[in-house]
């Protein structure tokens, strides 16, 4: 079946005996992923396990995680562990972002404990389309339109070419009963509203929008990767502040907008707090400088221009 083929292709580069973990919530996507991993591992001489993260965000979440773990054990996965986490966001991130952050931290810690070469997640082509639509709505730029990456570090997403309908069919064929997350019907969550908007678009404009959005991600990702690499190279070339205005303006706009983020983070700004507003204001110090004062940047930084160089200072430090 298609799910097994996708998982097999995603693991082809791993040597015999490698350990692989699947992140399993109990939903159709992750159960189909877990079943496919168990099947592939037997045929590719891999050790396969699962991690069920309990976010504790709804009543009975511990029981849901425990049930998902039991299904994974029944599939032959080993080790299988349930990892409870505490989701505590701050004013700069909502509950979805906070849950995602602690989930990835838990998965990484589990991979370290078990020496896993890869952690598989069950994001599908539908998730990819929804992510691209969300990026369009937010106006978040090229990187957001690149969608969900197939790989990042240890994390691999084999099912980005598989539809949600296919994962549900896989579960039905294997007599697996997926858990249905009640949050999937709660409009308080952004992903639910995006999913509903996508259904409305398909109803009004016809089928094929999901595939078109997913193809957009594939096409844009190579461009975004190239721009990011050029910005990384530029940041290494410029080094620590002060930075020459002439050198900064020599970079094309698509490179310089990415470059500012890297320079600010390297200077001490927290990565999660640097926004496009900060980078745009810093960019005006070199592209439209007329004697304006310093730019306040998260992390207690001031970025100021002399017209010839751009300096970074700490609050209260001359």
Tokens of 272: 């999660």
Tokens of 251: 């970079």
In the numeric block, the tokens 């106006």 are attached to 139
Among 117, 124, 151, 149, smallest CA distance to 48 is for: 117
Among 158, 142, 141, 140, smallest CA distance to 150 is for: 158
Q: Find the distance separating the first CA and the last CA of the chain, reported in whole Å.
A: 65
Element (H, E) at 136: helix 125-138
The distance of Cα 314 from the centroid of its chain, to the nearest Å, equals: 32
In the numeric block, the tokens 């082509």 are attached to 125
29 known ligand binder? yes
234 known ligand binder? no
28 known ligand binder? yes
CB-neighbour burial class of residue 250 (10 A; exposed 0-12, middle 13-18, buried 19+): exposed
Among 297, 263, 292, smallest CA distance to 277 is for: 297
Residues making up the chain, counted from first to last: 318
Contact 16, 45 (CB under 8 A): yes
Q: Please, which residues have CB within 8 angstroms of residue 87's CB and are 6 or more apart in sequence?
A: 55, 56, 57, 95, 98, 99, 102
25 known ligand binder? yes
Annotated binding site for ATP: 25-30
Annotated binding site: 25-30
């Amino acid at each position: 079946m298609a799910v097994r083929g996708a998982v097999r292709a995603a693991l082809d580069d791993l040597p015999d005996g490698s350990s692989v973990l699947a992140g399993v919530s109990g939903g159709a996507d992750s159960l189909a992923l877990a079943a496919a991993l168990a099947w592939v591992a037997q045929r590719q001489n891999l050790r396969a396990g699962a991690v069920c993260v309990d976010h504790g965000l709804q009543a009975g979440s511990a029981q849901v995680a425990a049930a998902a773990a039991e299904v994974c054990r029944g599939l032959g996965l080993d080790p299988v562990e349930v990892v409870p986490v505490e989701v505590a966001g701050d004013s700069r991130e909502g509950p979805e972002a906070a849950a995602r952050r602690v989930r990835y931290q838990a998965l990484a810690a589990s991979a370290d404990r078990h020496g896993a070469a890869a952690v598989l997640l069950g994001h599908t082509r539908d998730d990819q389309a929804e992510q691209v639509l969300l990026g369009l709505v937010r106006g978040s730029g090229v990187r957001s339109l690149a969608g969900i990456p197939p790989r990042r570090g240890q994390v691999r997403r084999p099912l980005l070419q598989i539809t949600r309908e296919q994962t549900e069919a896989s579960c039905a064929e294997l007599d697996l009963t997926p858990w249905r997350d009640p949050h999937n019907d709660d409009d308080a969550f952004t992903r639910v509203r995006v999913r509903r908007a996508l259904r409305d678009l398909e109803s009004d404009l016809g089928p094929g929008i999901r595939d078109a959005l997913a193809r957009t991600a594939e096409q844009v990702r190579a461009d975004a990767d190239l721009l990011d690499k050029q910005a990384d190279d530029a940041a290494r070339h410029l080094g620590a502040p002060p930075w020459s205005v002439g050198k900064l303006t020599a970079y094309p706009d698509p490179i310089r907008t990415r470059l500012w983020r890297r320079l600010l983070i390297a200077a001490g700004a927290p990565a999660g707090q640097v926004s496009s507003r900060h980078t745009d204001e810093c960019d005006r110090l070199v592209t439209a400088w007329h004697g304006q004062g310093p730019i306040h940047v998260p992390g207690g930084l001031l970025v100021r221009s002399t017209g010839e160089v751009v300096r970074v200072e700490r609050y209260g430090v001359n």
